[in-house]
Structure 1
Amino acid sequence: MKANKEITIYDIAEKLKYAPSTISRALNDHPSISKNTTLLIKKVAKEMGYRPNSLAASLRNNRSKTIGIMISRINRPFVSSLISGVEETARKSGYNVIISQSNDKYENEVINAQTLYNSRISGLIVSLSMETRKLDHLRPFINQGIPIVFVDRVPDMADAHKVIIDNYTAGYRAAEHLIEQGCTRIAHFAGAQHRNVYSERKKGYMDALKDHNLKADKDFIITFESLSFEEGEKATKKLLDLPIPPDGIFAANDTTAVSAIMYAKKRGIKIPDELAVIGFNDDPIASIVEPALSTVIHPAIKMGQLSAKRILQHAVEKDEEVLFETSILPTELCIRNSSLKNK
């Protein structure tokens, strides 16, 4: 079937017998066009199916009013909440959002970065993939003065804004909570240690054990590729098969923590009496599993909102010297029955 012709301002001008320049000004709410004329032109444009060519506008201005987001996996509750915070803030200022996911693959992230760069975005919000170690694919944005805000998974990089939480303190408090419940053999499900969030959570866990004169058993620390449910099951089986298994698990995300609870229950292990478990993120699944999962509340929506504000702030102050900021948002423990021995 033959596609219909794209309606242009010249078609609207011909229909209304106005100059194309008048149509253009009215569609852009120029003050030189009367309110009544503007309303009429917009009404007819809508009826005719006119669509503004935002790509052409971005080519003229060398930027679009669009914020790009590069994240790991859109189906993670933390990530979807983060995106929601970005979109809410961006749309209030008349900005659109383009979302791309890497599925935690570095190669995908490189391709996504090139696509967003070619789309002439006004700013980029990035939560790095699990595999990413090099940042060459982000250099074109920096060279062109396109602001980057790293959020959650951030690199050691000076010329960018960062929005993070205090992962060290959160990890420390999670492990300390298990210690306070009487656990003495605490395992840790860790993420890739070149990622700041997971290395800092592990360090907090290690220091909490040390400060309470407990040994960090190397057999109790398991590092995951993607912190998936399946990896959590395998890790829990490995731990429970040890001659002296752990009596507590601090998992770096809720997915693996829930898988630990479910697998342990299949083995007849009582949660939390024989195995106390605490996760991280406060995903919806944390309150659904039985017993409900203790976890660390991660302010994902606020992180998204603040990330978008940094981009918008840069757009307003683009002619001024930019002072890059690292914003650290607080977390809190949410204690439920999966870890609560001392009721």
Structure 2
Amino acid sequence: MNKNRKKRVTIYDLAMELNVAPSTVSRALQDHFSIGRETRDAVKELARKRGYRTNVVAANLRMQTSNTIGVLVPWINRPFISSLISGVEEAAQEFGYNVIISQSQDCYDREVANVKTLVDSRIHALLVSLAMETTHYDHIEEIIRGGTPVVFVDRVPSSLPGHRVIIDNYQAAFEATQHLIDQGCKRIAIFSGAQHQQIYRERQLGYLAALDQNGLDIDQDLICSLDRLTLDEGYRLTEKLFLLDSRPDGIFSTNDGAAVGAIKFARQNNIPIPEELALIGFNNDPICEIVEPQLSSMTHPAAQMGRQALLQALKVATPEATTENLLVQLTTEVIIRASSRKTQATTSPE
């Protein structure tokens, strides 16, 4: 134990020094009308001198709620998530709310535990982007029944209705695949996430629809689904694909990290990009403009999604809020860079 650690000043300490009741100190700090101006000023001045800070948790317990928004995401250190959180925090500050952030690290058990911790803190509302492992939603249903407003953002449940902020993942994947087809690609592989997650299932369906509508064969050897798409997995998957008798000439990766892994493999094995292998990712992370060649990608308006999720949560939390599930769906676009730009005819400005 650190003997030099300063003892936290409480309202009881202030009350004893001023020779008043603790309840008087509490009401004075809240500018309660029943406490005279002179007493209020004396309490606030002493509180300032002694470094008194309000115990927010205790106050929340008394009020059964707070001005704090809980945010539960898979990973804090991913560019998309950090931008989403930034959007949440900026909007929260604008409307006078605080934010508590927790990460599940894509683990279901950790998500369940974190939800309980956040709700026990008497949050005003909860914003959730589901863990990759999550397939059951009992922990979410329980808090919704308990009266805590919940808004799902990006990774949303497939079988649980609720308020959500999303993009059209099907259409975005269709456009990404169509872009590779427009560049002349005939054998397009996909790096897809776990199919029990709605966003990755919809992206894969969009990819398949683009192939079908353009009369291209669907080869199961070119469909690669993993629970976690990382740079290393992208490298490994590309290495595996290039052992096939008929190699791919294009790759659509449902995130940017795995696409960068594919670029790394191609460069190390002297495979020209985009002449022999065209690539497009998803999210438009900063790494897209750092890697060589620069990576084409689908935009994913993370900060805007975060802001809209916060606004939706505040709307849902109002007493007069509609009981209907609210849906906000934002748009995406193809950002064409050197990794996929084969022809000048389809080039568009970034």
Shared fold (TM-score, shorter chain, > 0.5): yes
Stretches of structure 2 that go unaligned for 5 or more consecutive residues are 345-350
Code of the aligned partner of 2:342? K
Stretches of structure 1 that go unaligned for 5 or more consecutive residues are none
Question: What is residue 348 of structure 2 aligned with on the other side?
Answer: none
Question: What is residue 293 of structure 1 aligned with on the other side?
Answer: 295
Q: Distance in 2 between matches of 1:300 and 1:46?
A: 40
Show the 5 A alignment for 1:178-197.
178-197=180-199
Contact 1:147 1:160 in 2 (8 A): no
Question: What is residue 50 of structure 2 aligned with on the other side?
Answer: 48
Shift of 1:313: 1.8
Contact 2:176 2:280 in 1 (8 A): yes
RMSD: 2.0
Alpha carbons of structure 1 residues 254 and 31: separation in structure 2 relative to 1, 3 Å: farther
Alpha carbons of structure 1 residues 16 and 203: separation in structure 2 relative to 1, 3 Å: same
Q: Distance in 2 between matches of 1:40 and 1:179?
A: 74
Q: Are residue 94 (structure 1) and residue 75 (structure 2) matched? A: no
TM-score by length of 2: 0.92
Q: Distance in 2 between matches of 1:246 and 1:28?
A: 67
Alpha carbons of structure 1 residues 108 and 158: separation in structure 2 relative to 1, 3 Å: closer
Show the 5 A alignment for 1:250-265.
250-265=252-267
| 1:69-125 deviation per Cα after TM superposition (whole angstroms, max 9, x unaligned) | 111111111011111111111222332222221111112111212222222222111
Q: Are residue 28 (structure 1) and residue 36 (structure 2) matched? A: no
Question: What is residue 240 of structure 1 aligned with on the other side?
Answer: 242
Show the 5 A alignment for 1:1-343.
1-2=2-3, 3-16=5-18, 20-30=22-32, 41-157=43-159, 159-315=161-317, 317-318=318-319, 320-343=321-344
Q: Distance in 1 between matches of 2:161 and 2:64?
A: 22
Q: Distance in 1 between matches of 2:235 and 2:170?
A: 25
Contact 1:231 1:256 in 2 (8 A): yes
Code of the aligned partner of 1:206? L
Question: What is residue 347 of structure 2 aligned with on the other side?
Answer: none
Shift of 1:240: 1.2
Residue range with higher mean Cα deviation, 81-90 or 20-29: 20-29
Q: Distance in 2 between matches of 1:228 and 1:128?
A: 18
Contact 1:158 1:324 in 2 (8 A): no
Paired residue secondary structure (1:277): strand
Q: Distance in 1 between matches of 2:50 and 2:154?
A: 45
Q: Distance in 1 between matches of 2:336 and 2:242?
A: 24
| 1:105-155 deviation per Cα after TM superposition (whole angstroms, max 9, x unaligned) | 112111212222222222111111111110011122112110111110101
Shift of 1:322: 2.8
Contact 2:158 2:197 in 1 (8 A): no
Q: Distance in 1 between matches of 2:182 and 2:161?
A: 41
Q: Distance in 1 between matches of 2:38 and 2:260?
A: 60
Code of the aligned partner of 1:143? R
Paired residue secondary structure (2:215): coil
Q: Distance in 2 between matches of 1:294 and 1:36?
A: 66
Q: Distance in 2 between matches of 1:277 and 1:159?
A: 35
Code of the aligned partner of 2:277? L
Q: Distance in 2 between matches of 1:110 and 1:241?
A: 41
Q: Distance in 2 between matches of 1:313 and 1:37?
A: 39
Contact 2:155 2:199 in 1 (8 A): yes
Contact 1:206 1:216 in 2 (8 A): yes
Contact 1:154 1:162 in 2 (8 A): yes
TM-score by length of 1: 0.93
Q: Distance in 2 between matches of 1:293 and 1:336?
A: 6
Q: Percent identity?
A: 51
What is the number of equivalent residue pairs in this alignment? Answer: 342
Shift of 1:161: 0.7
